[in-house]
């Protein structure tokens, strides 16, 4: 009778042990799968963010350059830089074309009205070039403003993408942490169940021995 009871206990302990091992392995496999999935998701998030950066980089670079040119035109980078920028506009093909067309129009009008050598014509010619240059400076600043706005919008979009990527990655790591915690709890519960089962079996065996003694 004793050997039979011992066999039952041994069988119960062995069964509990293998069940515990199976539960522990399952918990480890689940945790490893979660870790692998999280790593893949994080990598994809970063890949997408890198792609967004690459797409927006030309617009951000253009906007940064345009902002610098605006600052130069209004003198924020020094008088010499401002003078050089204005000189570039004064010697540009656009300025030359505007001046030629305007001066020709003034001369043609003066010729048609007989005032080609009059003081009004000479005064108009003297005022014309500075006026054209001033208008061209303002026009150039407005052009640059459009590019600066594009760059600003692109930078804002990149910042939003970075913030969203950070939030997504943070959530992924939180989920991974929860999965690891659940796996640890599952392993702990399996161990507790095994120990409890062994204790219960040992208690049953002890009870049988006492009953036999009586």
Element (H, E) at 92: none
DSSP for 30-82, written as a single string: HHHHHHHHHHHHHHHHHHHHHHHHHHHHHHHHHHHHHHHHHHHHTTTT-HHHH
Cβ 95 vs Cβ 136: under 8 Å: yes
**pLDDT tens digit string along 166-178?**
777 766 766 666 6
Per-residue pLDDT at 106: 84
Q: Ranked by mean pLDDT, which of 1-15, 59-73, 110-124 comes out on top?
A: 59-73
Q: Which residue has the higher pLDDT, 185 or 132?
A: 132
| Cα angle, residue 75 at apex, residues 71 and 77 outer, rounded to 5° | 65
Q: What is the pLDDT of residue 164?
A: 79
Residue 211 has pLDDT above 80, yes or no: no
Long-range contacts of 130-136 (CB under 8 A, 24+ apart): 132/95, 132/98, 132/99, 132/102, 133/86, 133/89, 133/90, 133/95, 136/89, 136/92, 136/94, 136/95, 136/98
- HSE on the CB side for 41, CA within 13 Å? 18
Confidence of residue 33 (pLDDT cuts 50, 70, 90): low
Percent of the chain with pLDDT over 70: 58
How large is the average pLDDT for residues 26-36?
65
Backbone angles phi, psi at 75, to 5 degrees: 90, 10
**Alpha-carbon span 35 to 56, nearest angstrom:** 32
Is residue 134 over pLDDT 50? Answer: yes
Tell me: pLDDT of 180 over 80.
Answer: no
Residue 132 carries which DSSP code?
H
| Rounded mean pLDDT, 35-49 | 73
Q: Which residue has the higher pLDDT, 135 or 106?
A: 135
Helices 93-113/79-90 angle, 10° precision: 60
69-123 pLDDT, tens per residue?
999 999 999 999 999 999 999 999 999 999 999 989 888 887 766 655 666 788 8
Nearest to 129 by CA among 94, 82, 87, 90: 90
Read off the pLDDT band of 5 (50, 70, 90).
very low
Q: Where exactly are the structural domains of the chain?
A: 2-213
Q: What is residue 161's predicted lDDT score, i.e. its pLDDT? A: 80
Per-residue DSSP letter, 116: T
């Amino acid at each position: 009778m004793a050997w039979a009871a011992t066999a039952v206990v041994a069988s119960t302990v062995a069964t509990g042990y293998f069940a515990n091992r199976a539960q522990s392995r399952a918990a480890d496999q689940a945790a490893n799968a979660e870790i692998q999935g999280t790593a893949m998701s994080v990598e994809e998030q970063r890949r997408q963010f890198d792609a967004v950066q690459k797409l927006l980089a030309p617009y951000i670079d253009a906007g940064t350059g345009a902002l610098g040119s605006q600052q130069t035109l209004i003198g924020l980078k020094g008088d010499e830089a401002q003078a050089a920028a204005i000189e570039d506009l004064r010697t540009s093909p656009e300025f030359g074309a505007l001046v030629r067309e305007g001066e020709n129009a003034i001369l043609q009008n003066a010729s048609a009205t007989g005032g080609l050598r009059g003081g009004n014509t000479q005064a108009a010619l003297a005022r014309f070039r500075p006026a054209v240059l001033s208008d061209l400076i303002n026009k150039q600043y407005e052009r640059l403003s459009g590019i600066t706005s594009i760059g600003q919008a692109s930078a804002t979009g990149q910042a939003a993408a970075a913030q969203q990527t950070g939030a997504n990655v943070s959530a992924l790591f939180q989920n991974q942490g929860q999965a690891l915690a659940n796996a640890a709890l599952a392993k702990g519960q399996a161990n507790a169940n095994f120990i409890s089962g062994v204790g219960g079996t040992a208690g049953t065996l002890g009870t049988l021995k006492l009953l036999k003694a009586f």
